[in-house]
Amino acid sequence: MMSIMVTENGGMELAKAILLKPEQIIDRLSGLPDRKFHCSVLGQEALRNAIEDYQANGK
């Protein structure tokens, strides 16, 4: 879902994507079992780390 959220409609700006919160991913999924909350956190952290790496090394 996170991948869809950041790529749909022509893509999300990096400045907005880096601010994506796990709760936004869960809301888009219309909920997630409590025991799976960490999945949205891992996705958000991976996205943030990738953007930070790109900004530091890839421009």
Digit-coded pLDDT (tens) for 15-41:
999 999 999 999 999 998 989 999 999
Helices and strands (DSSP H and E) totals, the chain: 4, 0
**59, pLDDT greater than 80:** no
Question: What is the predicted pLDDT for the residue at 13?
Answer: 96
Residue with tokens 């400045």: 15
Q: How many structural domains is the chain composed of?
A: 1
Q: Are 12 and 28 in contact (CB under 8 A)?
A: no
What pLDDT was estimated at residue 8?
A: 96
DSSP one-letter code for 31: -
Domain that holds residue 18: 2-57
What 3-state class would DSSP assign to 59? Answer: coil
**Global model pTM greater than 0.75:** yes
